[in-house]
Structure 1
Amino acid sequence: MVDWGLAVAIGSKLAGEGPTVTRAEAGSVVAELRADAVRSTGLVRDFTGLDAPDGTAPLLVVDRPGWVRANAEGFKVATGPMMRKLVEKREPHRISQMIGSKVTGAEVGGLLGFLAGKVLGQFDPFHDPAGRLLLVAPNIVHVERELDVDPSDFRLWVCLHEETHRVQFTAVPWMRDHLFSEIEAIGETLDPGSLLEGGLDRITDAIKAGRQGGSIIDMFSTPEQREILDRVTGMMSLLEGHADVVMDDVGPQVIGSVKEIRAKFTKRRQGIGTLDRILRRLLGLEAKMAQYRDGARFVRAVVDKVGMDEFNAVWAEPAHLPSKAELTDHDGWVRRVLG
């Protein structure tokens, strides 16, 4: 149903190679990022109280094509529940007749190619057995040059955020399985027929809505799916906001220019062009930016109110994760979880 090889080929071509560096410079960047990721583990543990076991979730410093390959593998796993649902309904042949694996492969490749030039780092929870951490070296170099910030400070700042994600998923053993169960739940709600009927019209409507902030995800969400997506939004906002708090609050201890970096980085997010902004909205990336903001506010508010030790009750079980509504009602979460 999806030509993954074609997706990787198209995505890698669209992604480009990134900034020009010498072989020696590239080697130095990779070595520094690896060292910064290792250093970040202890900094994250001391600040958050989360202790991740050693030897889990390997670190990969990759180029843009490497990120595309890794995420194609992740997409294949993430879409597994939907594919199984279609097989159960005996729909693959009908779908392949209508759209074809090469068409879907090209679409996925275009998405990966667009994102590959923007992502600085990522925790990939879909890689067995415990996930893996990806740092995209050319993008980190590109942004540090664009912002004109201290390269060593910026690299450690990025590593603090991404290493926090690795710690979240490896120190909290149920987190990965919980994410998989939510994806499985979405797959169970899919109606293969409805995905095919009027699909082009839905995408066209999503493009129009994208100018006002809608996304393709919104167009394909039933009420049941929205309920699941709201739970996932609460979880992902917590993870992203928690990582942002770590990178900014630990930063002053070890990163002299952290305030300058944050100010310039935030301004850069606001300065994207019109086409880029529409694409981000269509793909739901504007919502992801809100996750950073809302999640960080939630974490700071709860920690300020009850302290880090009490806040860490959020990691005890899935029921303790904040709902989407509780992201802006931290007192409600405190009452529900901490009594």
Structure 2
Amino acid sequence: MTLFESAQAVAGASGDGAIDWAAVAEAAKAATKPGAVDVSEAEAEAYAADVRDARTRLREVSGMTFDVPNTIEIQNRHHWLDANVETFERAFDPLDERTEVLPGVASSLNTATTAGALAFVSRHVLGQYDPLLLADGEHGLYFVHPNIRRVADDLDIAFPRFRRWIAFHEVTHAAEFGAAPWLSDYLEARLEDGIAALGEGELQTDAFRELNVAMTSVEGFAELLMDEAFDGEYDDLRRKLDARRKGGSPLTKLLKRALGFQLKREQYERGREFFDVVAGDRGIAGAAHVWDDPENLPTDEELDGPELWLARHQDA
């Protein structure tokens, strides 16, 4: 998961009017057990080693030049909430400028729905690559340790192997953003435009459509790289994780759909199908040209017709 995907989920839950972000953090934490994060020094080093190994393998497979973030945090759910709420507050600032007939009621409703959205996400997110949306500084990798351990147990996967899989997945995002210095600003601008439009009572479909197309490219390329770079058997991991994305109780499925988790699954599948065709024709290095320039991103039409992208980039 990336920070942009988390913010997109909150955008869908915020509605109109101001949000009390201090109350969001308090309410989300109250609704969510933090989970244990008492990792040993050896376990912490194992996380770091997985990240280093993923960087080496992804460089070899993709030919892309990138580095991993200096900040690698092993978090519980409350840590993840703290790391995200402040950034979301800056991103959603335009909503504070809109006045309502009943602003107190609007604020209470928006605060409650946003807190619920973040609490739900905090119980499901496994790792996050954070390009520090709307803030200057180092990029970071977050691993939500209690969620990774719980899901490994639920799926009957050895924890060290599952932890390594999650590390490889998040480092693929670091590779993409590292190879495309423009990508963070590109996504940020579209998220800001969409949120600003919400603050005016409008749905800026172009901004959110472009954000979705870009994130579909991010997730699809990550899926391609994962399968090429992961240094172990992964068929059962892929199968079990795909089933998890589609599964859950009826209520969980409803919440996932409401918060865009269904959209995220579609991003994985649609993006992967696009890059399978492109990489099949041009190789991974050729597919990586998507990150050379914003103009190289596929359009919405090209995602479903990769031959159109190939024709547009015959020299790639």
Work out whether the TM-score is over 0.5: yes
Instruction: In structure 2, list runs of 5 or more residues that go unmatched.
Output: 1-17
1:330 corresponds to 2:309 = no
Q: 2:215 aligns with which of 229, 232, 236?
A: 236
Alignment partner for residue 240 of structure 2, among 252, 259, 264?
A: 264
CA distance 1:191–1:157, change in 2 (3 Å): closer
The match for 1:48 is 62
Per-residue deviation, 1:78 = 2.3
User: Alpha carbons of 1:116 and 1:190: their partners in 2 closer, same or farther (altered >3 Å)?
Assistant: closer
**SS of the counterpart of 2:248?**
coil
Deviation at 1:17, TM superposition (A): 3.2
- Following TM superposition, by how much is the alpha carbon of 1:5 offset from its aligned partner in structure 2, in angstroms? 2.0
1:173 is the counterpart of 2:173: no
Report deviation, 1:64: 0.5
Separation of aligned partners in 1, 2:223 and 2:207: 24
Q: How far did residue 160 of structure 1 move?
A: 0.7
Q: CA deviation at 1:312?
A: 2.0
Determine if contact 2:76/2:146 at 8 Å carries over to the other structure: yes
Amino acid in the other structure paired with 2:170:
E
Q: Report what 1:313 is aligned to.
A: 289
In structure 1, give the amino acid aligned to 2:209: D
Contact 2:55 2:67 in 1 (8 A): no
Aligned match of 2:3: none
- The CA deviation string for residues 262-311 of structure 1, in whole angstroms up to 9 with x for no partner, is 22222222331100111111112101101011111111210111112222
2:269 aligned residue (293, 310, 326) = 293
TM-score by length of 1: 0.80
Root-mean-square deviation (Å): 2.3
Highest CA radius of gyration, 1 or 2?
A: 1
Q: Which runs of 4+ in 1 moved over 6 A?
A: none
Q: CA deviation at 1:53?
A: 4.2
Q: Hey, what does 2:128 align to over in structure 1?
A: 122
Unaligned runs of 5+ in 1: 196-220
TM-score with structure 2 setting the length = 0.85
Instruction: Map 1:187-266 onto structure 2 (within 5 A).
Output: 187-190=195-198, 192=200, 194=201, 221=203, 225-251=204-230, 254-255=231-232, 257-266=233-242
Amino acid paired to 2:44 = V
Counterparts of residues 71-82 of structure 1 (less than 5 Å): 71-80=84-93, 82=94
| One-letter amino acid of the counterpart of residue 131, structure 1 | H
SS at match of 2:142: strand
- Whether the 8 Å CA contact 1:185–1:228 is kept in 2: the answer is yes
User: Structure 1 residues 288 and 154 mapped into 2: Cα distance closer, same or farther (>3 Å)?
Assistant: same
Which one has more relative contact order, counting CA pairs under 8 Å at least 6 apart?
Answer: 2
Structure 2 Cα separation of the partners of residues 130 and 180 of structure 1: 16
Q: Note the alpha carbon deviations across 1:135-165, whole angstroms, 9 max, x for none.
A: 1111111111111112222111111110111
Partner of 2:9: none
Kindly tell me: are residues 259 and 73 of structure 1, through their superposed partners in 2, closer, same or farther at Cα, counting changes over 3 Å? same
1:235·1:321 contact (CA, 8 Å) conserved in 2? Answer: yes
CA-CA distance at 1:228 after TM superposition: 2.1
Query: 1:113 aligned to 114, 119, 122, which one?
Result: 119
Q: Deviations over 1:162-219 (max 9, x none)?
A: 0111221123111111112212332453463x37xxxxxxxxxxxxxxxxxxxxxxxx
Separation in structure 2 between the aligned mates of residue 31 and residue 13 of structure 1, nearest angstrom: 31
- The 1:236–1:95 alpha-carbon spacing in structure 2 relative to 1, beyond 3 Å, is farther
SS of the residue corresponding to residue 134 of structure 1 reads strand
Which residue is 2:159 aligned to? 151
Question: What secondary structure sits across from 1:133 in the alignment?
Answer: strand
